[in-house]
Amino acid sequence: MPPAGTLDRRTPSFLRQGPSAVSKIVLYSAMALFLMLADARFKVTDPLRQVVALVLYPVQWLMLKPVEFTSFGAGYLQALEKAQEEVAGARQALVLMSQRASQAEQLMQENDRLRKLLDLRERLVTSAQAAQILYDTADPYSRRVVVDQGESNGVELGSPVMDESGILGQVTHVYPYLSEVTLLIDREQAIPVLNVRTGARGVAYGDPVASHGGGMELRFVSANADVKEGDLLTTSGMDGVYPPGFPVARVLHVERRADSAFARIYCRPMAQIEGTRHVMLLKAMTGQLPARPQPDSVVPAKKGARK
């Protein structure tokens, strides 16, 4: 109540107008849904994301330094003991590698002579650059990591990524100083593969649900196809992105059902999806392949010709 002798100039509650709380929630939810669809369809916020990534890069760098120093100190003592074991193993492997190197050099010379004799196209040269995985992305519905090489280092969109064991994934977003890599086990990732034992080609898709012990699935393979557990799958090079011959996965389990024309083939990636820290960014083969021929122009039908 206002003090006696004063005039209350406030609007009575029953005359106040404005949107209700439910109307505001519906309006803001519709605006949020519209913005999410517009961003997913037209990528309207990509320039803003690049600007934010550029601005936040020094902050990310500073925040990651204490973590790097801590991990470096803890791993230093373990590295000393491990280094002694690796030196002994490296000496044994060096002898074997020297023998294989001499044989490989001879095979390469024979391969070059045969290619020249048959007038075949020269093998594609794959260049690569080293990178380090900084952290996993915060999106719980995708399997992606961020590496410390970006557009300023010559990283291109679509570049294949691998570790010492095999193909790890593909660069899907490039920022000025960082790049985002989608792993092979992501549900939206697919890669053409070749069965080394049989020579059959196929397409392996990511399967983030690892209940069967693997992270990929070889789809659209007939139930009577010659596929066995333990078969090695490598890149076929048919997509013009991944160079041929790199390890991708190994067949883990094959399910053949009488009610389906296709077999369910689960695979385990050869790369260390969870534990690797250092990777190689390969250059995609797109720029090295010849351009696809244009479709033939339609020839007009002559007079009197049957339609």
Return the domain boundaries, the chain. Answer: 27-100, 128-183, 190-286
What does the pLDDT look like over 181-235, one tens digit per residue?
999 999 889 999 999 999 999 999 998 775 554 589 999 999 999 999 999 999 9
Residue 172 has pLDDT above 90, yes or no: yes
Measured CA to CA, the distance from residue 12 to residue 33 in angstroms comes to 36
Q: Report the predicted TM-score, pTM, of the whole model to 2 decimal places.
A: 0.60
What does the pLDDT look like over 85-139, one tens digit per residue?
888 888 888 878 777 777 777 887 887 777 777 765 555 567 889 999 999 987 7
* Residue 286 falls in which region: left (phi positive, over 0), alpha (psi -120 to 50) or beta: alpha
Three-class SS of residue 203? strand
* CB 177 within 8 Å of CB 57: yes
Measured CA to CA, the distance from residue 43 to residue 276 in angstroms comes to 31
Measured CA to CA, the distance from residue 225 to residue 229 in angstroms comes to 12
* CB 215 within 8 Å of CB 206: yes
Q: How confident is the model at residue 298 (pLDDT cuts 50, 70, 90)?
A: very low
Say which CATH topology domain 190-286 has. Answer: Thrombin, subunit H (2.40.10)
- Give the tokens for residue 63: 């925040």
**289: number of Cβ within 10 Å:** 12
Res 216: pLDDT:
93
- To the question of domain 128-183 being in CATH 1.10.10.410, the answer is no
DSSP 242: S
* CB 216 within 8 Å of CB 232: no
Cα–chain center distance at 71: 26
Percent of the chain whose predicted confidence (pLDDT) is above 70:
83
Q: How confident is the model at residue 10 (pLDDT cuts 50, 70, 90)?
A: low
Q: State how far the alpha carbon of 268 is from the alpha carbons of 183, 235, 250, 253, 264, in Å.
A: 13, 14, 5, 9, 14
Check for a shared fold between 128-183 and 190-286. Answer: yes
Measured CA to CA, the distance from residue 155 to residue 170 in angstroms comes to 11
What does the pLDDT look like over 26-58, one tens digit per residue?
888 988 888 888 878 777 778 888 888 888 888
Tell me which residue of 206, 199, 193 sits closest to 248, measured CA to CA.
193
Average of pLDDT values for 270-279? 89
